[in-house]
Amino acid sequence: MTNIPVTTWSLEQTSPTDLLPAAAPEGDVRIVRAEVPSPEFSRFLYASVGGDIRWIDRLGWSYGRWAEHLARPGVETWVAHDHGTPAGYVELEPQDDGVVEIVYFGLIPAFRGRRIGGHLLSYGAARAWDLGDRWPGLSQTKRVWLHTCSLDGEHAMANYQRRGFKLFDTKVEEQPEVSAPGPWPGAQAG
């Protein structure tokens, strides 16, 4: 198997005032929280958004592992809908000491380029900042962070920076080259 260099950039906001919101796109775009933990729906979002950009780390998760992860206090999935159809999502995960990670963020390929991504990222980051208000027992958020890599969409880094995220770490590592699995096993995106 061939290895390829993959650059991973870590970005953060250290104050809610760091967030630079994007304008809402025109049309019927709504963002709602998936309040009922659903392994099926979360796996659908994960595979549909990440299938063409090599998101593979959760493809092998069992139903039970998905359910356990989604049931953790403070883990939230916010879904953008375009005319009622899921278009993308942002997943938040609280960590120690008031830190919230935007673990996953992205759009299903058919919805990219419609100005939904900046709006969804803005909304997700705002929800990361007020996560403690919705979850008794969680600390107030002091820092929101995420990472992106050279395998992600070509506009990812620019979108994060336009939303006020600042680079704090860069790593380059060799990783096995894998094909993009598509939105479901055996299918190729595109």
Confidence of residue 175 (pLDDT cuts 50, 70, 90): confident
Say whether pLDDT at 19 is over 90. Answer: yes
Q: CA quadruple 177, 162, 81, 127: dihedral positive or negative?
A: positive
Structural domain spans, the chain:
3-176
Say whether pLDDT at 69 is over 60. Answer: yes
Q: Which two tokens mark 85?
A: 């159809």
Architecture of the 3-176 domain: 3-Layer(aba) Sandwich (3.40)
81 φ, ψ to 5°?
-120, 135
* Three-class DSSP category at 177: coil
The whole-number pLDDT of residue 189 equals 43
pLDDT in tens, 125-164: 999 999 999 999 999 999 999 999 988 888 899 999 999 9
Mean pLDDT of 13-34: 96
Gyration radius (Cα) of the chain, Å: 16
Look up the pTM and report it.
0.92
Q: What span, in angstroms and rounded, lies between the C-alpha atoms of 165 and 155? A: 14
Confidence of residue 37 (pLDDT cuts 50, 70, 90): very high
